[in-house]
Amino acid sequence: MSDQTKALRGLLAGEPFIAADCVSALSARIVEHVGFKAAYMGGHATSMMHYAIPDNGSYTPTEMIEQAGRCARAVSIPVIADADSLGESVTDIHRSIRGYEDAGVAGIHMEDEALPKHSTYAGPLMSISDMQARIDAAVNARRDDDFVIIVRSDEFYVDGGGGSGSLEEALARGKAYAEAGADVYLPTFAGPEELLTVAAEVPVAIGCYGGLQPGVQVALATGFGAASAAREHHKWATHLLQHGELPPEAFEFPEKDAIIRQAEHDAVVSRWVERTGRRGRALGAPSQ
């Protein structure tokens, strides 16, 4: 087991918590710096930030593993990654789980919507039996028993997803996914009353998106980081084009040095300067 997977297991066994949005090593550090105990990488936010593409199935497992690894290595808190369907085949699932483990990710969620998802294709959800087989492949691929496998169902995702909105079907899927080895069940777009019913009847921890809800153990807060960063970049790029220069506030980030651990890196150079007799210097204003 790793420290991060053990920590995530501990969180799932304790008080309900929020895993906050990250799409990069820097944003993961920010999440850790402000005090969250876990971070979450959403597929749409990360594909938008790093590849400028939508999350409709074209964003590959290997691309997400690469980005998730950068986040996981930058922090000591556990990182949960949106692993989409983990690939097309069960061998894709096997390889992807191993890849996420090797990258230092503490857990993933896999989903039951048929590809291409979140698109103009009105695709169905995978059958329960097929999804159970895929979950089984994921569970058996992991080498660290503490690595967390969250299974997302889009049964309540009617407008834009493949679900029908049936509570009965969502319950059947949750129970079947738990039987196949899921550690957490994530019924996307379930309302407050539906979440309470699911929590009462599905025998694993329940997750949701956004803020914490009654009956939920883990809330995955995603999208705000990528959206706010893109919005600010668009704002200041437009200002620079229109005015030819930027005001000082465009560069303001008071917590930057602490988050990128500037002092730690400066100490390495200072020690080398002293040891080798080279000339040192006092740092002036932070670089832009």
* pLDDT tens digits, 76-99: 999 999 999 999 999 999 999 999
- 99: Cβ–Cβ under 8 A, 6 or more apart, which residues? 61, 62, 65
pLDDT of res. 73: 98
Query: What span, in angstroms and rounded, lies between the C-alpha atoms of 214 and 192?
Result: 7
Cβ–Cβ < 8 Å for 106, 71: no
Mean pLDDT, residues 260-271 taken together: 95
State yes or no: pLDDT of 177 exceeds 90. yes
Q: Is 215 left (phi over 0), alpha (psi -120 to 50) or beta?
A: left
pTM of the model as a whole: 0.95
pLDDT higher than 80, residue 283? no
Q: To the nearest whole percent, how much of the chain has pLDDT over 70?
A: 98
Q: Which residues contact 103 (CB under 8 A, 6 or more apart)?
A: 65, 66, 68, 69, 72, 73
Cis-peptide into 286, omega within 30 deg: no
**DSSP assignment, residue 249?**
G
Q: What is the DSSP letter of 256?
A: H
Region at 81 (left for phi over 0; alpha for psi -120 to 50; beta for the rest): beta
Residue pointed to by tokens 């009105």: 122
Which positions ≥6 away from 229 have C-beta within 8 Å? 23, 27, 49
User: CB count, 10 Å around CB of 14?
Assistant: 10
Strand partners, 208: 219
- CATH for 3-223 (3.40.50.12780, 3.40.50.2300, 3.20.20.60, 3.40.50.300): 3.20.20.60
For CATH 3.20.20.60, list the domain ranges present in the chain: 3-223
Q: What does the block give as tokens for 133? A: 């087989």
Which residue's entry shows tokens 């079947």? 176
Q: The tokens of 175 are what? A: 């129970």
* Mean pLDDT, residues 62-71 taken together: 97
Report the sign of the C-alpha dihedral through residues 163, 169, 171, 177, in that order: negative
Residue 136: exposed, middle, or buried by beta-carbon count in 10 A (0-12, 13-18, 19+)? middle
Taking residues 234-260, report their average pLDDT.
97
Average confidence (pLDDT) over 155-181: 95
Question: How far, in Å, are 11, 99, 206 from residue 218 at the CA level?
Answer: 9, 23, 7
Mean pLDDT of 242-258: 96
Question: Can you tell me the distance from the alpha carbon of 20 to that of 3, in angstroms, rounded to the nearest whole number?
Answer: 19
For 129-142, write each residue's pLDDT tens digit. 999 999 999 999 99
Q: Contact at 8 Å (CB) between 97 and 138?
A: yes
